[in-house]
Every structure is written in C-alpha cells, then in structure tokens.
Structure 1
C-alpha cells in the first residue's frame, strides 16, 4: 500500500515577532506548564516548518514524516528545557528537529557502512553496533506501543494530526466531530502518550 505523504504544509504561518515578542517561545513556556491548548496552537504554527526542515535534511518524505512526529512529541514532553534567554522558540524547535533529522541520517549511514563492512569481511557486528540498533528499534517500538494504548478515537485523531499532518480543524472535518471534541481527544491522547513514554524510559 502506498504511504500517504504527510501534509504538514497546511498549518498556519508562524507569526513574526515584533517589539521583542516571541509567540512561539510564549507557547513553549505555556506548554511546559502542561497547557494543552497552547501546545495545540504551537503544533499549528511549527509543524510545517519542522516537516520542511526534515525533508531538506533527509530527502525522504516518509522518513521526514516519522522524524517530524518524533520531534513534535519531544517538544511536548521536553518544553521545559526551552530557555527564552538563549534564543527564540522557533529556533529551539528547529534545533530539536535538525538534531533528530541528522541523527536519523547518521544512523542510516552507520547501518549502510556496517552492512558494507559485513558484506566485505563476513565479520559479525560489534557489541556497540548491535546495542545502537537495538536502542533505535526499541524507541520506535515504544512509540508504536504507546499509540496502541490509546482509545480508537484518540488514535484516529493523533494519526491524522501527526502521521498525515492534518490541522485540528481538518481532523474535525474528517472525523465529522466538533472541533472542541478533537482538541479534547488530542489533549487526553498527548497526556497519555507523554506518561506512557516516560514510563518506558
């Protein structure tokens, strides 16, 4: 089955800061306090930029989709690490995205190098290489396991928003439910995902 390309491009443009204001930074500060509506607004503003950066680094829409989802979950879980005195909120989010994307490139390159060495020498992988691959697979499995722990309605909303890049309004239209209901589902789902991933660590 052909995988649908994520549509992060449909979000609202990030407002330009004026007179020292940083709207994305303000939303990050509120998100760090557990303000789910603030994260909903943050998602709408930064998701297209996150996906665009990931596509430029990875040059693969499928991988960019996966990494974008991981980045947005990391922003939700670790917003408290943002420090306004060290830069704007958008720069912080894009730094997280760039690091994740580069890590994926390095992981893929390391895997390719190992496979080439293994093919040339028929030697087994070292313990460190095996441990690295196991860690990567476990992280992906944890995200999938936590998604399965959601209710069907929560999983639908999260899948449409994160895997297919839909805005909350588009999710509401696709599921034929009121926008406040979608926001409530997403809020509860994000809390459950955050708690599940925290336990898995």
Structure 2
C-alpha cells in the first residue's frame, strides 16, 4: 500500500507518521523560529493539504476552511518557538491549532447567526407593536373589538393572544402549536387587515 504526497496511506483514510518527515517538519519549525521564510514555505507545502482536509471536515465550507488554514499558518509563524518536539510532532502541533481555530470559527459563526435571528425577531415584534399602537391611538378599544370579526379566525386568535392576553410571539406559536414564523405571519397579517378595516392610514 503506497503513500500519498502528504504521508497519508492511500485507501485507509488515516495519517501515518513518517519518521523522516517528522524530523524534517521539526527542523523546519526550528528554522522558522529564526525567521527563515524559505523554511516556512517548505513547511506550508509539506503540511497544508493535511490541515485543509482536517478543517474542511469541521467547517464544511471550502472558503472558510482556506481562511482558517491561513490563520493557522500565521499563528505558526508567530508562535513557532512554542513548539516542543518532546510533546509531539510538528504536524500534530499544527493540527491541534487548526482544530481549535476551526472550532472557534464555528462558534463565532453560530453566535452571529443567533444575533441575526434575535434581531429579526425584535424587528418583527417592533413592527407589530407599532401597528397595534396606530390602531389603538386612532380608535377606541370598543371599535377595535368590534372590527376583530373582519379577521380570519386564525388571525383573530393570534392577535387576541398577543394584545389581550399578553402572549409573546413565541408563546403564541407554542399555544397554537405552529412554527414561530407562522405565528408571526398571522399576527402581522391580522394587524394589517385590522388596520385596513378600521380605516387607519398606512
């Protein structure tokens, strides 16, 4: 069974340590500590495909994997003196940094998605609250209640849960056993229809 260009045994899917290359990588890192850019380029050529494969399996995005790998090699250039051959191989040291950096980016992206989702929820709720305020300011509550009949039963139930029983959008979704987006749509459409029925200007 032959080996690929990165020291990976073809057909097994697992990296196989190669003593000669292990020593070569360690020597290259020692030269990197001294600021040897040529040694750094050699180290990159010898190990980058392994790091890229590792990171890609984690982040599942070729573009993001390439970014993470570049960040890892920048860290390796800046922190080469931290490598200790007595604690492991140079490739293992690089892979450990790559794994940690990939996990950090995954968590960062997740936090960004959560912030975006929270922003969208706040925007939707603010829009609904603004619409309801316009209705209440324009007409008395008795007239509003009278015109609730202009809404569909689903819209009327959702609107009443929010503005007469104080439910949040998420509580409405749970109470009606529907997705959050469906509950928001019913509330939004119900308020818009109510505003139209009451003659409130857009």
Q: TM-score of the superposition, structure 1-length normalised?
A: 0.50
Report the equivalent of 1:13. 6
For residue 84 of structure 1, report the CA deviation from its aligned partner.
Answer: 1.3
Quote the Cα distance in structure 2 between the aligned partners of 1:43 and 1:99.
18
Q: Aligned Cα RMSD in Å?
A: 2.6
The 8 Å contact of residues 22 and 89 in structure 2, kept in 1 or not, is answered as no
- 2:53 corresponds to: 52
1:18 is displaced (CA, Å) by 2.7
1:37 Cα offset (Å): 2.0
Question: C-alpha separation between the residues in 2 aligned to 1:23 and 1:109?
Answer: 38
Judging changes above 3 Å, is the alpha-carbon distance between structure 1 residues 20 and 40 closer, same or farther for their aligned structure 2 residues? closer
Contiguous gaps of at least 5 residues in structure 2: 8-15, 125-202
Are the structure 2 counterparts of residues 28 and 65 from structure 1 closer, same or farther at C-alpha, using a change threshold of 3 Å?
A: same
Q: 1:19 to 1:70 in 2, by over 3 A?
A: closer
The DSSP-based 3-state class of the residue aligned with 1:34 is coil
Q: How far apart, CA to CA, are the structure 2 residues paired with 1:31 and 1:66?
A: 21
- Please state if 1:26 is matched with 2:27: yes
Task: Report the CA distance between 1:100 and its aligned residue.
Answer: 1.2
- The alpha-carbon deviation at position 16 of structure 1 amounts to 4.1
In 2, the alpha carbon distance for the partners of 1:21 and 1:94 equals 13
- Does structure 2 conserve the Cα–Cα contact (< 8 Å) formed by 1:50 and 1:68? yes
Q: Which residue of 1 aligns with 2:190?
A: none
Partners of 1:12 and 1:69 lie apart in 2 by 20
Equivalent residue for 1:69?
A: 70
Query: Are 1:117 and 2:123 matched, yes or no?
Result: no
| TM-superposed deviation, 1:21 | 5.3
Shift of 1:20: 11
> What's the secondary structure of 2:54's corresponding residue?
helix
Does residue 94 of structure 2 align to residue 108 of structure 1? no
SS in 1 for 2:19: coil
Q: Which has the larger radius of gyration?
A: 2
List structure 1 segments (4+ residues) > 6 angstroms apart after TM superposition: none
Query: Which structure 2 residues correspond to residues 182-201 of structure 1 after superposition, within 5 A?
Result: none
Structure with larger RCO (C-alpha < 8 A, sep 6+): 1
CA contact (8 A) 1:26 1:89 kept: no
Structure 2 match to 1:83: 84
Change (3 A) 1:114 1:43: same
Q: Is the 8 A contact 1:17 1:23 kept in 2?
A: no
- Equivalent pairs, count: 113
Output the CA distance in 2 between the equivalents of 1:61 and 1:45.
Answer: 19
Q: Would you say the 8 A contact 2:22–2:90 is kept in 1?
A: no
